[in-house]
């Protein structure tokens, strides 16, 4: 067998390489699974500027600015991030670009790491912007290059939408030998208020331009090689996009296929032609019936979402079942799938992710629980503390939501005098907590905001942010000071504590909680995976341990019960010492390190 | 050749992704089409993780259809149990004997299953490997994942042990000590099963 010249690339790595080979000079984004690695890979290429922005709106605006200056620019985010960035995005489609601008948005069908499974393809339709949907790393790479070209040719921002199974799958990529080196020069910027200043009179004219552009893009959709037909049996025709195409191909390789890689605007003529040539048409797409609805509007009768579950990602088996159902209903030949799933009905204990041993968040929540307060939560590692035994929060909605929720909650129960708590991570606070703090102070709320400051964006893999003093490309920079910020926003009580000191943390939290108005406590302890300071580990003195179980209330995975006694797994223990505060029998002692 | 499908199951931090990338690299070098899908993000905080690797003339779905997985590698003793319904009838199951009790077990809210060996044996040809001990002998407990890869190499069709070893060298390029330990761990895993089978 001949040696392959292809490279095995993660989908996100292929997107970054495509952007680089397309000559992109600037990239911005905010970390979010499954999109995070794109910008990290991109940042390592020579002569590019790559930046983590405080949030997706800032990222999009910065990338748009780079495009106006004449550079090809990339902006990356997860699906919910596009909610944040949607304001500049939608209007920038009116204004158009100078250098090519590609917005990569990563959806998460099945919610592997997300709070919802919204379908970003709606944003293409909302903003009237073209969208590519790669099915594997090869397409991710090739479509990135084409998306930049298209962006400049049609003078529009372009969406590239991936899903978890495209972003986090590795497949072989044949890399273009010709890299667009001519793109290293910035395109000329010319002042053009009619195009770039979206006051109503200009915007009305630009809306017309958008509609004309959309007409032109309909022709592009018919001829782009990313939309193509593979003729097979005429009994079943499958229209599919993204990785769902491969699930369908796995389930029924004999069928005819219309594979859509450029999905807004749709190639209506191609769809009509395909539908005419096959007896049954099945649309296979993850999440919402976006293609299905538009194809039905063409007057074409198709099978679709009635055959699929409304929640979660697709699999080859789910597609196979849908195909069997069609064959059963229509009495046509049955395709033989031949997969026989085997049953195992035994009990397997679940293994959920947990806060790491030595995580400062655990200590903070343990102490906070004593206040018996309502706690509005947020997005980050600390959301894991919602599980037993900490049961730490009442809500988790979106980035920054906790502070706003706590404020509104406090306002309507004001007569009770009860203070409401909001917990928020450092990166999340910078993302969208600051305006919430300003709102709470301005509107005289009764809120305690706890900033869980672990000095990094931990959940997505330790990205720097504006309060870390480091940039994505490793430069030193100004370090946002939470204390000064909170004071200047008008918080009445501001204090920083180390959550490894449980007594001091409890004292400060109580003070802050009892002070009427808006108080801010910064619980600062670097992420233990990022920067472990304590040496050695702790052990349990079995003679002193009474088996009372107090230490188990922390929910530390390094502490467990063996018979009547508590045991510390010294392989996992990071010597944070939190359990020593809980033990009333002095049964926990330090060992190893400087003990 | 029919598409070969492998599941690597384990706990976050056990080197699941490294093993799948090494197999993928070696399969690509052997001229096959390859697809790998992995767990990233949330599952890393001590949760269950898995990778699916598929290679052959032409691979469509990165997800393995249930009933199509020929090789299951469990980097932790019970983690393989979660994937039994994916196994084909002639599956080879390689299980590390290392136990990491999940949190509900540690606090007495659930029990670590018994008779795990028998369960695995009902689903295929199961082999149990003291991967952690062999890895320690090879120079680092962290190489337990590569011990399991060595064990897998006894059975894997289409990708040779030589290709796997050269993929290990590529994966850890520039870290001579790590390569040395991992190549030793690979051999330990491979020869452990030779002794066992003989």
pLDDT tens for A186-206 read: 999 999 999 999 999 999 999
pLDDT tens-digit series, residues A46-93: 999 999 999 999 999 999 999 999 999 999 999 999 999 999 999 999
For chain B, state the CA radius of gyration.
Answer: 16
Residues 6+ apart with CB under 8 A from B81: A344, A346, A348, B74, B113, B116, B119, B120
Between A186-190, A261-265, B9-13, B52-56, the lowest mean confidence (pLDDT) is in B9-13
Interface check for A253 against chain B (CB to CB < 8 A): the answer is yes
Token readout for B193 is 């099963």
Cis preceding linkage at A265, omega within 30: yes
Token readout for A407 is 């404020």
Which of B4, B1, B22, B13 has the alpha carbon at shortest distance from B189? B22
> Is A350 in contact with B78 (Cβ distance < 8 A)?
no
Question: What is the average per-residue pLDDT within A135-139?
Answer: 98
Per the listing, tokens 């779905």 go with B61
> Is A349 in contact with B110 (Cβ distance < 8 A)?
yes
Which of A341, A350, A346 has the alpha carbon at shortest distance from B119? A346
Question: What is the average per-residue pLDDT within A26-44?
Answer: 97
pLDDT score of A3: 39
Between A29-43, A50-64, A378-392, B148-162, the lowest mean confidence (pLDDT) is in A378-392
Confidence of residue A2 (pLDDT cuts 50, 70, 90): very low
Between A280-284, A351-355, B144-148, the lowest mean confidence (pLDDT) is in A351-355
Chain B residues within an 8 Å CB radius of A106: none
Task: Count Cα atoms within 13 angstroms, Cβ side, for A158.
Answer: 31
Which of A429, A386, A428, A412 has the alpha carbon at shortest distance from A520? A429
Q: How would DSSP label each residue in A289-319?
A: -HHHHHHHHTT---B-GGGS-SSS---HHHH
| Partners of A46 in the β-ladder | none
Which of A54, A76, A56 has the alpha carbon at shortest distance from A477? A54
Return the percentage of chain A with pLDDT > 90, whole number: 88
pLDDT score of A405: 98
Say if residues B139 and B184 touch (Cβ distance below 8 Å): yes
Mean pLDDT score of chain A: 94
pLDDT tens-digit series, residues A221-238: 999 999 999 999 999 999
> Is B68 in contact with A346 (Cβ distance < 8 A)?
no
Residues 6+ apart with CB under 8 A from B115: none
Residue A338 has pLDDT above 80, yes or no: no
Q: What is d(CA B106, CA A12) in angstroms, rounded to the nearest whole number?
A: 37
Residue A521 has pLDDT above 70, yes or no: yes
Domains along chain A with CATH numbers = 7-223 (3.40.50.970), 228-330 (3.40.50.920), 360-524 (3.40.50.970), 537-591 (3.30.70.20)
Nearest CA in chain A to B42: A113
Confidence of residue A34 (pLDDT cuts 50, 70, 90): very high
**ipTM score:** 0.95
* Identity of the highest mean pLDDT range in A340-349, A556-565, A579-588: A579-588
Say if residues A341 and A356 touch (Cβ distance below 8 Å): no
pLDDT tens-digit series, residues A407-434: 999 999 988 889 999 999 999 999 999 9
pLDDT score of A4: 41
Domains along chain B with CATH numbers = 4-197 (3.40.920.10)
pLDDT score of A594: 59
| Partners of A495 in the β-ladder | A521
Q: Considering the entire predicted model, what is its pTM?
A: 0.96
Interface of B with A in 52-81 (CB under 8 A): 59-63, 65-68, 78-79, 81
Chain B residues within an 8 Å CB radius of A6: 28
> Is A355 in contact with B45 (Cβ distance < 8 A)?
yes
Residue B29 has pLDDT above 90, yes or no: yes
Closest CA–CA distance from residue B79 to any residue of chain A (Å): 9
> Is B104 in contact with A350 (Cβ distance < 8 A)?
yes
Residue A346 has pLDDT above 90, yes or no: no
Say if residues A522 and A561 touch (Cβ distance below 8 Å): no
Cis preceding linkage at A34, omega within 30: yes
Q: What is d(CA B42, CA A111) in angstroms, rounded to the nearest whole number?
A: 10
Residue A5 has pLDDT above 80, yes or no: no
Interface check for A107 against chain B (CB to CB < 8 A): the answer is no
Per the listing, tokens 């709470």 go with A440
Per the listing, tokens 């109503």 go with A200
pLDDT score of B197: 59
SS3 A478: coil
pLDDT score of B40: 72
> Is A353 in contact with B25 (Cβ distance < 8 A)?
no
pLDDT score of A182: 52
Q: 10 Å Cβ neighbour count for A1?
A: 9
* Angle subtended by helix axes A482-489 and A434-442, to nearest 10: 30
Confidence of residue A179 (pLDDT cuts 50, 70, 90): low
Q: How would DSSP label each residue in A479-507?
A: ---HHHHHHHHT-SEEEEE-TT-HHHHHH
Residue A183 has pLDDT above 60, yes or no: no
Cis preceding linkage at A389, omega within 30: yes
pLDDT score of B198: 46
> Is A342 in contact with B36 (Cβ distance < 8 A)?
no
Q: What is d(CA A364, CA B37) in angstroms, rounded to the nearest whole number?
A: 36
């Amino acid at each position: 067998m001949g040696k392959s010249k292809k490279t095995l690339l993660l989908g996100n790595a292929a997107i970054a390489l495509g952007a680089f080979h397309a000559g992109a000079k600037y990239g911005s984004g905010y970390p979010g699974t499954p999109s995070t690695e794109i910008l990290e890979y991109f940042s390592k290429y020579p002569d590019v500027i790559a930046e983590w922005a405080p949030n997706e709106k800032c990222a999009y605006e910065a990338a748009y600015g780079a495009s106006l200056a004449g550079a090809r620019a990339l902006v990356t985010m997860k699906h919910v991030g596009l909610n944040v960035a949607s304001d500049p995005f939608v209007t920038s489609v009116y204004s158009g670009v100078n250098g090519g601008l590609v917005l990569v948005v990563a959806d998460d069908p099945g919610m592997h790491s997300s709070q919802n499974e919204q379908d970003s393809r709606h944003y293409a339709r909302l903003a009237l912007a073209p969208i590519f949907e790669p099915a594997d790393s090869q397409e991710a790479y090739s479509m990135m290059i084409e998306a930049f070209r298209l962006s400049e040719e049609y003078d529009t921002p372009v969406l590239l939408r991936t899903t978890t199974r495209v972003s986090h799958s590795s497949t072989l990529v044949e890399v273009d030998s010709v890299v667009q080196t001519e793109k290293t020069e910035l395109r000329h910027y010319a002042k053009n208020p009619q195009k770039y200043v979206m006051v109503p009179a200009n915007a009305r004219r630009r809306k017309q331009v958008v509609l004309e552009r959309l007409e032109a893009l309909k022709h592009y959709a018919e001829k782009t090689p990313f939309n193509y037909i593979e003729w097979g049996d005429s009994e079943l025709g499958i229209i599919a996009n993204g990785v769902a195409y491969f699930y369908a191909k796995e389930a029924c390789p004999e069928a005819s296929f219309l594979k859509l890689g450029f999905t807004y605007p749709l190639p209506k003529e191609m769809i009509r032609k395909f539908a005419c040539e096959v007896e049954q048409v099945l649309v296979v797409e993850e999440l919402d019936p976006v293609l299905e609805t538009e194809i039905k509007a063409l007057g074409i009768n198709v099978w679709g979402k009635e055959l699929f579950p409304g929640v979660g990602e697709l699999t080859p088996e789910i597609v196979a079942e849908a195909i069997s159902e069609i064959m059963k209903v229509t009495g046509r030949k049955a395709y033989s799938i031949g997969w026989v799933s085997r049953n195992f009905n035994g009990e397997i204990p679940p293994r959920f992710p947990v806060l790491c041993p030595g995580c400062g968040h655990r200590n903070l929540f343990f102490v906070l629980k004593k206040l018996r307060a309502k706690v509005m939560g947020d997005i980050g590692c600390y959301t894991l503390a919602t599980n037993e035994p900490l049961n730490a929060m009442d809500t988790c909605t979106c980035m920054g939501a906790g502070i706003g929720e706590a404020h509104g909650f406090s306002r309507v129960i004001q007569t009770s005098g009860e203070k409401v708590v909001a917990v928020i991570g450092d990166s999340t606070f910078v993302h969208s907590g600051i305006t919430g703090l300003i709102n709470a102070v301005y509107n005289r709320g009764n809120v305690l905001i706890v900033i869980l400051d672990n000095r990094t964006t931990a959940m997505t893999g330790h990205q720097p942010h504006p309060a870390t003093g480091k940039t994505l490309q490793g430069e030193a920079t100004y370090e946002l000071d939470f204390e000064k910020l909170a004071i200047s926003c008008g918080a009445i009580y501001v204090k920083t504590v180390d959550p490894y000191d449980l007594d001091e943390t409890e004292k400060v939290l109580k003070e802050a909680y009892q002070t009427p108005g808006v108080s801010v406590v910064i619980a600062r302890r670097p992420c233990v995976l990022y920067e472990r300071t304590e040496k050695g580990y702790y052990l349990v003195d079995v003679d002193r341990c009474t088996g009372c179980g107090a230490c188990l209330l922390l929910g530390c995975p390094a502490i467990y019960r063996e018979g009547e006694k508590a045991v510390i797994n010294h392989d996992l223990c990071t010597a944070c010492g939190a359990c020593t505060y809980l033990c009333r029998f002095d049964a926990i002692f330090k060992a190893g390190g400087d003990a | 050749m029919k598409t070969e499908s492998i599941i690597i199951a384990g706990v976050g931090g056990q080197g699941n992704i490294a093993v799948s990338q090494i197999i993928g690299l070696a399969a690509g070098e052997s001229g096959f089409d390859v697809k790998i899908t992995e767990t990233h993000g949330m599952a890393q905080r001590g949760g269950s993780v898995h990778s699916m690797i598929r290679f052959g003339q032409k691979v469509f779905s990165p997800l393995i259809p249930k009933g199509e997985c020929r090789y299951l590698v469990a980097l932790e003793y019970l983690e393989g149990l979660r994937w039994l319904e994916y196994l084909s009838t002639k599956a080879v199951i390689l299980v590390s004997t290392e136990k990491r009790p999940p949190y509900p077990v540690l606090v007495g809210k659930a029990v670590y299953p018994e008779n795990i060996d028998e369960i695995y044996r009902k689903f295929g040809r199961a082999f149990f490997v003291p991967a952690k001990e062999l890895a320690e002998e090879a120079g680092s407990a962290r190489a337990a994942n590569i011990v399991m890869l060595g064990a897998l190499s006894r059975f894997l069709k289409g990708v040779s042990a030589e290709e796997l070893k050269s993929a290990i060298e590529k994966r850890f390029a520039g870290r001579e000590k790590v390569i040395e330990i991992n190549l030793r761990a690979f051999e330990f895993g491979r020869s452990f099963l030779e002794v066992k089978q003989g």
